[in-house]
Structures are given as structure tokens and as C-alpha cells.
Structure 1
């Protein structure tokens, strides 16, 4: 990892801030205004463009964006809702940035309630230069959020690529023109058009050994993603596993020890108990239906103890479960490994919430750092061989059909 750096004097002329959105009327206007203020401060003489890319919004998202008083040029890109997702919008922003001959692109999630104008200059400075570079955020989060980051994306990326990234799917990204050109050549599986887009960007950057810069952005407040816990991590894992299988080998840890995490915010809001109960019940039904398949692919989970929410998956258990998943994926069991891991992951999240009860933020950070380090060791001990198996380009909900209360979704790659 590299610290954020790059003088403002090196900035070029065209800057695009893209806001991917669907049904975010309550926050999109404020995000657009923050982006515009940041652009005007950082690039007072540049060509600044704020792009709303939305897919199938049924509320006033487009109108709220259109009514926002901006000094920057405003563009709206709309696509149909069915079979599309966040990645559809991000790819639309990237394609439009190429048409605009942009020097750099920044992405700001439309549901963020803590967006600050200063983020624009910080992210832009981090991607200065002629070589490809990706900037990712580093911010403090509610201890009951960032679950897919903490228990899937971050430890798996560290285990496969030898690089610890605190917020690899944080959403507030930036990249320069060289990165944009490079990314245009990367295969886009169906899940990358959905919530898999963020990890698709970060994992491909690590696979290509592109410089990745972590940019401290303070606190992040946004709408809780927990209600999406049965579909968001499935899409993230799908994209991540696609990139992993295109990697030559499991890489050794970098020469520099990872910095201690500082990601847990002091403020915390527990998730809605009714939503948690509904999710737990769906996962229990799934595990009952797929008991034999889970035991076959995840031998490390065979001895897990029961808990009020289902299974107790501790910080010591979880690294071996993740290693089992990579063994299964590399052995050609892509969809089963992805889907069964989601069920075990939900139990890991609920166990984690129990583990951290009464702990301070620093203690939680240390627990997550230990979990990531153990994952690195567990994966290396398995001798996982990459480069042989492949995954399906088309994304569908697979084994989760009928368990996640979502319509059957199939997205071509």
C-alpha cells in the first residue's frame, strides 16, 4: 500500500465525479452538491463534470439531482432496472469518462450522508501521475456495518494477493486515465454489473500489481446495507472469485507489515432485530436444505457449535472456512462454494456481533486484524493452486433461489 500523495499542481483538465444511484432521492442532492463544491475548490479552472448514473429509479432521484444547483456540468445516464445494478452505473460512468477524455474519475456513493467537499481533492491528489493508480477510502464505520468488507473482501484479498486493504469495497474510489484505459480490457462477469463492481476494481488492480492508495476520509455514514446481506455478499464473492481464478498464484505477503487497522467508529447502531430474525431464518432453511453440500466443501465447518442465531463461527474458525472456500473454487466448485459461504458468512457476522459486545473500537480493530492474518496463514497452508478453473460469466442466484425472498436474477456477463 502507498500513502496518498500528489501535488495539486499536477492535476489535469477534465475531472468526472460519478454518482451511481438507484432510488436515493433523500441523499443524492447533497452528494451532488458536495461533489460540486469539492470540484470547484480543487479545480477552479478545470472542466468539471458530475454524472448521475441511475438504473430504474422509481422515486425522485433524477429530479433531485437535476434540481441541485451546481457550477459543474451535469449529466444523467439512465438504464433499465431489471438485471442491472451498481456496476451497470459505474461502467456507464467509466464509458462516459472515456468519451469526455477525462484525466481522472471519482466515484461517490449516492446514499452517503457524510460526503464532504474535501474528499474530492484528497481522492484526486492520490491518483496524480501517468502510471495507473487506484485510490480507495479508509474511514471509520459503525461496528455493526462493513461486514462484507471485514469478513470476506479484506481477508480474502490479503490471503490471495498479499496486500491488506482496509476498505476494498468502500465505494468512494478514484482512478486516473491510465487506470481507466487498463480497466477497459478486463473481463466483466455478470456480477460486476451488480454489487460486485467495487471488489472487481480493487481485486483486478491487485492482480495487475497496480498501485493502490488508501485515502483517509474520516467517518462514513450511509444507509445500512444489512437488509441486502443475502444478495450483496453473493455478488461480491462472485466477482472476487472470478478475478482470483485469473490470478497466477497465491502471492506471498508483502515485504512491509500491514498497518494496524483503525476502522471502527465510536458510534454504533444495532441492526433491526426483525430483519436479523428474518435473515437468520432464511439461512437456517438454506443450511438445512444444503447440509450435505456444505459438509463436503467446508470440512472446517463440520464441528461448529450451535448458537441462538444458528451456528457459532468464531474468529478462530472463520479463516479455515475461507480457506475451504478457495480450495473449492480452485477445484471447480465455483457456484456451490460461493453460495454455501454466504450462509456461513451470515453466521460469522452474528457471532462477531456477540464477540465484540463490550469491546472498544481499538479492540475490535485488533480482532479483525488477527482474523485477516490467520486467513493469510490458513490459505497459504492449503497450497491453493490457481489458474486452472474458471467461473460462469453469467450471474444468477444459484442455490439461493427460493431462500432469499428475491426474484430470480440472471445477469449476462
Structure 2
């Protein structure tokens, strides 16, 4: 069990989360009081340009822990800006441990505090990441990009590497100071930046079961969130000594899919499909060149049918392109192909049970490891682009016919 008489900080990165921030703060406070009744407990709200009363709602919420607010402007900032602000406050407070809770979660439980804190006890750097059960129509960036790519490069299968509910001990916080921060790490790339760097430096990563996660659907962000995640991930990959062999022993079967399934808004799905069709139509030749594994993908009602068998080879194409110096093209084209993979996945899992969906995702990750290993991709020796343009998808938002790549 964690030492119960030290400084514990819970950080809430937020932007316009007035409807949920109070409940998350109260759950954190209850968990802190139960786990560390004799300790110094602090809840830090870090927000960037909120206009809906997030700060006021947090200030009005009664807590036993000390409250701290760190604010920054909205333009050019993101989740990572808030996380780095929380890390800075934790170091200033000489915190022994820091826990992060996403401020938009509706299922936060006080017990998460002790579970996450106990996982990072010790003097050596350690990162705790969550293991949730999620709606099968969510966690798409996790399931189809972050988790399989991390497994393929670092040999470690992390079920929820970008889950948000993280914990770090003091040694880990100190270690992060030396890691280069690409622009995307100040945005939604922050979670994968933390996990990938931990794996790159062979820091111990502990998965903590937290039950169900209910929060605002990230699907409307599907054209920008994965681009930011991939940007940060590829920056870390290029600083890696090479593709590593999988860790010894079989990976444990996942239990990530929740019994509740809520499909995404069809109108949003339609708009996203149209945007992606326009993008692929504009970049047809380059996509064919960098992603030969997608050339034979047949047409589908949403654009392209990219199957469970196809996707690992598409991911291997992306890593090969990054290693060859085509960082931005690989990143951006992969986002478009990823959207088609997500919609194909939704079609594939129609009628499957939760365990069957979990098994499909496990197989996809294992096949990605094999596909990348077989390519013998040479990493290192290059650096990623110095900046990041969040406006990349501007201009691809009008209606367009579905696009397909001929064989």
C-alpha cells in the first residue's frame, strides 16, 4: 500500500467541462480523504480558455483537499498544456505522487485514487495507466492506432495507453523533464507521449483495472485527435533504438468492451466520411505510394473496406514511411485510412459478443506486431518536423463521392 502521510496531487485537465468537473473533483476528494487521511492532499484544476464557467464550478465545489487553479489562454493550447501545468504544480508542491483524472468523465469513482496511487509506490520511476471497459463504438484511436503501434514498436501490449486516468511517482515526474516535447504533446498527443516515452526508456508501466468509463464521446474529434496522437507517437518512435521483440509470455486477453453499446451520431459519421473522401481524392497518388497495403481495399458505403487482416499491414506501411523520412505524409494519410478502418470495424463487429470483439482486437494487435517485425524497419537517425499544424483538415469538409483505391 502507498505511504499514507505524504503529498498527493490530483490534477484535472479541463476545457469547458462545467457540467462534470464538480463531480470529478468531489470523487477525487473523497478518494484522497479515504486513502490519505493524514497526508497533504491537493486538487489542481488546469484549464485553458474555458468559457462555460468551469473555473467557477470548481471553485464552488466543497473539497477537504486544497484547491489550486492553473489557467492559460485557449489559442494554441490543448490537453497537454494543462497536463504540463499540473506537472509543474506537482513538482513545486514537492508531491510524492500525481494522479490525473479527465474532467469530462461521468463514472469517476473515489476508489480510483487508492488504486492508482498504490500502483506507483516505490523509488524507481513507474507509470500507472487505466484498464477500462468501454462502449464498443468508442476507444477507436486506442484500439486501432495507439495500442497496436506501441505493441509493434516496443514489444509491450498496453490496453489503454491513452486513457487519461494516469498516475506517476516522483521519480517518473523527474524523468519527464528530460524528454523533448513536440508541439502535439501540448495537445491530445500528451497521453501517448507519456506512455511511449516510458516504454522507450523501459520504465515500468502498470495497468490498473478501473471498471467502466463513461464520458463525452470523442468521435467528433476523429479527424484531429488521432493526428495529434500519431504526431507525438512518431516523434518518440524516431528516438527509439529499433523495433523490439515482444515481451516474453503470452499477453493476457483483454476485457475492454462494455456490454452497453451506443452507436455514434449518423450525421457526424456522414460528415466525417465525406471529409475523408475529399482528402483521399486529393492525395490519391501519394497514398498509393506510401500505403501499398491499401491499394486493393475495395469500396464500401463509407469509402474503403479496411479489414482486420489488412490493417496491421497498413500500420507497418506507416512506420516504414516514417522511418524513411515521410513523417507528415505518413501521419496524415494514416488518419484518413484509420477512419475507414474504424467504420469497417463497426461493420465487422455487428452481431458479435463482447468477448468476440475483444478477441478480434487482440488478434489485430498481435498481427500488427508480426507485420512490423517482418518488415525489419530501421528506426532512429531521423527527427520529426519541428512544428505541428492543427489546421491540416481545413478544406476537406465539403460533400464528395466516396473514394476507393484500385488494385
Where structure 1 has 5 or more consecutive residues not aligned to the other structure, the ranges are: 1-6, 406-413
Residue 301 (1) aligns with residue 294 (2): yes
Match of 1:292 among 285, 288, 291: 285
**Further displaced range: 384-393 or 308-317:** 384-393
Map of 2:313 onto structure 1: 320
Map of 1:393 onto structure 2: 386
Map of 2:405 onto structure 1: none
Residue 330 (1) aligns with residue 323 (2): yes
The question of whether the paired residues in 2 share the 8 Å contact of 1:231 and 1:404 is answered with no
Match of 1:353 among 339, 346, 353: 346
Name the CA shift for 1:397/1:264 in 2 (closer, same or farther; >3 Å): same
| Backbone CA RMSD of aligned residues | 0.9
Residue 257 (1) aligns with residue 245 (2): no
The question of whether the paired residues in 2 share the 8 Å contact of 1:339 and 1:398 is answered with no
Question: In structure 1, how many angstroms separate the alpha carbons of the residues matched to 2:395 and 2:77?
Answer: 20
Normalised TM-score (structure 1): 0.95
Secondary structure at the aligned position of 1:93 is classed as helix
CA drift of 1:392 comes to: 1.1
What are the equivalent positions in structure 2 for 1:191-340 lying under 5 Å apart? 191-340=184-333
The question of whether the paired residues in 1 share the 8 Å contact of 2:152 and 2:372 is answered with yes
Match of 1:371 among 364, 377, 380: 364
Map of 2:17 onto structure 1: 24
CA drift of 1:388 comes to: 1.6
The question of whether the paired residues in 1 share the 8 Å contact of 2:20 and 2:103 is answered with yes
Question: In structure 2, how many angstroms separate the alpha carbons of the residues matched to 1:370 and 1:385?
Answer: 24
Where structure 2 has 5 or more consecutive residues not aligned to the other structure, the ranges are: 399-407
Question: In structure 1, how many angstroms separate the alpha carbons of the residues matched to 2:192 and 2:173?
Answer: 16
Match of 2:160 among 167, 174, 198: 167
Question: In structure 2, how many angstroms separate the alpha carbons of the residues matched to 1:311 and 1:132?
Answer: 43
Map of 2:117 onto structure 1: 124
CA drift of 1:368 comes to: 0.2
The question of whether the paired residues in 1 share the 8 Å contact of 2:121 and 2:169 is answered with yes
CA drift of 1:390 comes to: 1.2
Match of 2:88 among 92, 95, 101: 95
Name the CA shift for 1:12/1:191 in 2 (closer, same or farther; >3 Å): farther
Question: In structure 2, how many angstroms separate the alpha carbons of the residues matched to 1:256 and 1:206?
Answer: 17
Question: In structure 1, how many angstroms separate the alpha carbons of the residues matched to 2:306 and 2:365?
Answer: 15
Map of 1:53 onto structure 2: 46
- TM superposition outliers: structure 1 runs of 4+ over 4 Å: none
CA drift of 1:398 comes to: 6.8
Question: In structure 2, how many angstroms separate the alpha carbons of the residues matched to 1:109 and 1:33?
Answer: 13
Secondary structure at the aligned position of 1:396 is classed as coil
Question: In structure 2, how many angstroms separate the alpha carbons of the residues matched to 1:393 and 1:92?
Answer: 22
Question: In structure 2, how many angstroms separate the alpha carbons of the residues matched to 1:185 and 1:390?
Answer: 16
Normalised TM-score (structure 2): 0.97
Secondary structure at the aligned position of 1:20 is classed as strand
What are the equivalent positions in structure 2 for 1:35-184 lying under 5 Å apart? 35-184=28-177
Question: In structure 1, how many angstroms separate the alpha carbons of the residues matched to 2:66 and 2:393?
Answer: 43
Question: In structure 2, how many angstroms separate the alpha carbons of the residues matched to 1:397 and 1:138?
Answer: 29
CA drift of 1:394 comes to: 1.2
